[in-house]
Amino acid sequence: MTIFALSSGKGRAGVSVIRISGPDVCAVILSLCPNDDFPKEREATLRWFYDPETNQKLDQGLLIYFRGPNSFTGEDIAEFHVHGGYAVVAGFLETLSKITNLRFAQAGEFTRRAFDNGKMDLTSAEGLADLINAETQSQRRQALRQMEGKLADLYEGWRQEIITAMAYLEADIDFSDEEIPDDVTLRVKPIVEKLFGMIKSHLADGHRGERLRHGLQVVILGAPNAGKSTLLNYLSRRDVAIVSDVAGTTRDLLEVHLDMSGFAVTIVDTAGLRDSDDQVEAEGIRRAISRAENADLKLVIIDASHTEKVDQHMVPHIDENTMVLFNKCDLNVINDNAFKAIKAIGCWSISAKTEQGLDDFLVALQEQVEKRMELTDTPSLTRTRHRANLKSSAKHLKRFLDADHFELELLSEDLRLAARDLGKITGFVDVEDILEKIFKEFCIGK
């Protein structure tokens, strides 16, 4: 079946792109452009487009034809670049819907066909989706790297090494009468140990890729009227939160999405932490604590006039992922002795109202964001699906390494399952390639 859809954004625009893909593309082109020769491949030509039923003009625009398999989907594709007015686009789509063997594409169906036809792997398809949704430069760079196949190359390389290890074991099982090294398990174990270490190291990335994709979660915590909302307004450069001298103004979570040094960051203002009998405020405090427990970074604000002792509501939330801010330093002399024994990233004296000390704090905050989010030489995990399959693959490799037996069938099964889990990430799961490895490595049957 041939599919079609509006590939450019909806709404009025100078130009809109309508794409069709499938076996009937050539017939559709001839029916929409009955008075012209068939277009050359990959060459934009100016054409009048007609309704095949009424022979009335739909619009004048550019037509580009891509012959499969040298196209995005691997099938024949045609792109119609028409004027972006609502009536033009709606009329064009309605005309296509009336043509036999054409239907509207489902969400992601063009990319699905590209995967089915071997034009990209699953991680590349996911990278394309991330690229479309990218809001910051760092998200764009990570998505491009994944779309280009960097992540797939890494995982497929590991899978091929496991298949090589399997080939030794399978050869010993199936071709025991051939000339095969008798120390096969000793040759395989170093390969598996190396792969296990690489996968474990890859998993221990602090969720960098997921953070970069979704945005770093930064939660502001503090007692009521400590200055949380004022800090949020400063960071967002607009009046997002209500600022009042009345304690407990903020009772629910308030989020602001920022682009900080090219990284996506979500700043969350929360209800002031204190004991409360008010059911609504108590629920807000519960949500604040829950969000803080899952935060990537916490900003704990302490009123500078109350530093004689540690606020017990703050203590559980001050750790190695916490930046402590002594606010209202323009009104009081800071006495932070009570906090010297508490482990934190650091302490800053600020005035959220007058912005005193905030420049230094902002520099430190940006450094923390970059530290947690910057791209590394090795492509990062970007999805929970990847992480789950890698953990499963590592589990099977560990079982192979911990085995206290020499049952080659069972050892080979552990490797097969590990390779299968890696193949699930990219979509390249093919048991037959093990046989190819066997014949290549040992020249069996020569």
Query: 127-136, pLDDT tens digit by residue?
Result: 888 888 888 8
Q: Which CATH class is domain 137-205+381-442?
A: mainly alpha
Query: Would you kindly state where each structural domain of the chain is located, as residue ranges?
Result: 2-115, 137-205+381-442, 211-373
Fold match between domain 137-205+381-442 and domain 211-373: no
Q: How far apart are CA 100 and CA 254, in angstroms?
A: 51
Report residue 280 as tokens: 């609504």
Residue 167: predicted pLDDT: 83
pLDDT for position 437: 45
CB-based contact 369:260 (threshold 8 Å)? yes
| 3 state SS of 295 | coil
Residue 382 Ramachandran class (φ > 0 left, ψ -120 to 50 alpha, else beta): alpha
Pick among 3.30.110.40, 3.40.50.2000, 3.40.50.300, 3.90.1150.10: CATH of 211-373:
3.40.50.300
Q: Which two tokens stand for residue 309?
A: 């002792």
Tokens 């003009």 identify what position? 57
What is the pTM (predicted TM-score) of this model? 0.76
Tell me which residue has tokens 């890494």: 154
Please name the fold of domain 2-115.
Answer: Gyrase A; domain 2 (3.30.1360)
Helix (H, G, I), strand (E, B) or coil at 345: coil
pLDDT at 183: 64
What is the tens place of the pLDDT at every residue in 205-245? 888 888 888 889 999 998 888 888 888 888 887 766 555 44
Q: At a CB cut-off of 8 Å and minimum separation 6, what does 247 contact? A: 224, 225, 272
Residues making up the chain, counted from first to last: 446
Tens-digit pLDDT profile for residues 162-206: 998 888 887 666 555 555 445 666 788 899 999 999 999 999 888
Sorted by sequence, the CB contacts under 8 Å of residue 183 that are 6+ apart come out as: none
Q: First and final CA of the chain: distance in angstroms? A: 46
Non-local (6+) Cβ contacts of 10 within 8 A are none
CA dist 103 and 185 (Å) reads 55
Neighbours of 173 (CB within 10 A): 14
Residue/partner pairs of 124-127 with CB below 8 Å, 24 or more apart: 124/148, 124/149, 124/152, 126/382, 126/383, 127/151, 127/382
DSSP-H helix ranges across 25-108: 25-32, 86-97
